[in-house]
Amino acid sequence: MRLNASMNTWAALALSVAAFVPLISVATAQSVSPHVARRQQDMKAMADAAKSINAMFKGTSPYDSKLFKAAAETIRSQSGIALSALFEGSVIATGSKASSNIETERQQFDKLALDLGAHAAALSVAADRNPDALGPGMRMQAGDAVAGGGPLAKRIDAARAATSMSAEHAFHLMLQTCTSCHANFRVESN
């Protein structure tokens, strides 16, 4: 009898805790401002779009020019001026991983946002030009890696160069832009 009472007490306690956990999650989610939530939503949408394009380049997902273009347009529409606008004013906020470096290095942040849009626009155009297959013209060619942005490479204007490079090269430069932005303007949580 005593064992059953003890088990019932533990079960009741477990149910109470289980009922409380969603409330903690809701409270935590509500502590993020709508502005930060929007930034996070847009960043997730861009990351998902990049994963979709990556899967097509890797061959783990079949090439579909409409999906490829839609993913590129997701990134294009949420980068550039739209991305910069999401980080205007004070960027430090509860639940945000944005670094105060955005405020002090605004020109660099805005340039990366514009570069991201230029590379995504190039991917969108490539999808239009290649409606049936992800063919050799969309793949990186010998020498593409040097033109992009390694330590020994010549820096080039992303908007002008995006139309003259392969889609795969534009994609790699786009990912490099994301990495550079995160390295400079995102605080990693411990």
* Residues 130 and 65 sit within 8 Å (Cβ to Cβ): yes
Kindly list the domain boundaries of the chain, sorted by start residue. Answer: 1-31, 34-185
Q: Is pLDDT at 146 greater than 70 in this prediction?
A: no
Mean pLDDT score, 67-81:
98
* Radius of gyration (C-alpha) of the chain in whole angstroms: 22
If you ran DSSP here, which 8-state letter would residue 186 be given? B
- The fold of 34-185 is Four Helix Bundle (Hemerythrin (Met), subunit A) (1.20.120)
Q: Which tens digits make up the pLDDT trace of 6-19? A: 444 343 434 444 44
* Tokens at 141, concatenated: 């060619």
